[in-house]
Amino acid sequence: MTKKVRVRYAPSPTGHLHIGGARTALFNYLYAKHYDGDFVFRIEDTDVARNIEGGEESQLHNLEWLGIIPVESPIIGGPYGPYRQMERLDTYKEHAQQLLEKGLAYKCFCTSEELEAEREAQRANGVAAPMYKGTCRHLTAEEVAEKEAAGLPYTIRFKVPAEETYVVDDLIRGEVTFESKDIGDWVIVKANGIPTYNYAVVLDDHLMEMTHIFRGEEHLSNTPKQMMIYRAFGWEVPRFGHMTLIVNENHKKLSKRDESIIQFISQYKDLGYLPEAMVNFLALLGWSPEGEEEIFSMDELIAQFTEKRLTKSPSMYDTQKLKWMNNQYMKKLSHEQVVELCLPFLQKEGLVPENPTEEEAAWASRLIGLYHEQMSYGAEIVELSAQFFTDALTYSEEEQEVLAGEQVSEVMASFKAQLEALEAYVAPEIKKAIKAVQKETGHKGKNLFMPIRVATTGEMHGPELTDALELLGKETVIARIEPFIK
């Protein structure tokens, strides 16, 4: 590559960092890093009515949490600023004036009511995609001056060339062709002086020297309009790559209204997911590594990431795979790191005091340790450990069948007697007590262990049984087994 690679992530501050936006940012970041280029963060804030307070900060903060750090941004600054569109209005105005002077754009005085009437008339005639018919395209200079003198508001429209073909040499999809006859003259500057997306984004990308534009495939239809602006100014068109759609588990396009999937990065952070796992998972949504390996560090992703491995097929957002992947990363954490991650969730629910005593802290630490290997994300500790914080267990139909076994009463009576005789109520001694029950009753294997586990924990599967029984405490365990002694 002759020019230094420069790519960008340019969200609107209309919401928090969505998984689709995070994937876009990540792919641009990996591409830049792979080719020793620059990753730039820019804000497209011209939709003023929809901007939310803290939107920009939320985007940057969550990218930083993921480890996606730009070299230029509105906060960091840089040689191509400003990095917010509303601070670049003079630039858009100046270039729009150039297009007007070249006869490549014109002022349109059509009202919104007139435009809607035109669209309705076209729809009535069977036109599926109505377009502007150029009513104001042929106004004389005198007519334009007269309307301006009358104080009529106007937009500025780009004059779409006739019989032009626009070929997008897409890095992912190959050649995609558009014809100008399918695109009506479109607005580049609104009546309030604010530029439209397809106009402003070209000026920003060119003036900030972007070489490659990776974005979602929903932007593919915008590309011919943007190419018109590049051609109008005689500028080099960057390379485009339109990434695959992300679909849900029903293979439907992911919608922000889809409540079956957690959609925002901040939500995953708040649930105790690990940023390394999120990055790993997002990287596999539309990109495939060369081998069968699925677990990658950021450095490994950077080393492998190229446009050649980007896929055309829709990517399914598999929440179970995300949980599995996060579990793989959880397992690599030290015990201290897992406790640090999980303890706040127990405290938030009031299950562990905010300022625990040394004994309470040690108990909570051991409790969390029981589920270290099993846990998919930090907040899951609350659900997993529910048995330790309830006075009344509930049993499923399958668990009730276990507890209805004819040997259960005998096993429980023997186990209670063994526990009551223990001098030290600790896991190794509890293990000996269970062995003594086996010797005394003759019951072993599932007939011995399963009733004890289900009666005391309310679960058929879980952490090491004797460790769980120690943490539950002798009084609780005896109270839970007594109802099953006839």
| Residues that are catalytic | 256
Rounded to an integer, what distance in angstroms lies between the CA atom of residue 292 and that of residue 301? 14
| Amino acid identity, position 27 | F
Spatial neighbors of 427 by CB under 8 A, at least 6 apart, are 464, 466, 467, 469, 470
How large is the angle between the packed helices 275-283 and 55-66, nearest 10 degrees? 90
DSSP string, 147-174: HHHTT---EEEE-PPTT-EEEEEETTTE
φ, ψ of residue 167 to 5 degrees: the values are -105, 115
Compute the radius of gyration of the chain from its Cα atoms.
Answer: 32
DSSP string, 434-471: HHHHHHHH---THHHHHHHHHHHHS-SS-S-HHHHHHH
Spatial neighbors of 47 by CB under 8 A, at least 6 apart, are 12, 14
Asked if 180 contacts 165 with a C-beta cutoff of 8 angstroms, the reply is yes
DSSP string, 40-82: EE-B----GGG--TTHHHHHHHHHHHHT---SBBTTTB-TT--
Q: How far is CA 396 from CA 455, 457, 465, 468, 481, in A?
A: 11, 12, 19, 20, 17
User: Three-class SS of residue 186?
Assistant: strand
| Amino acid identity, position 354 | E
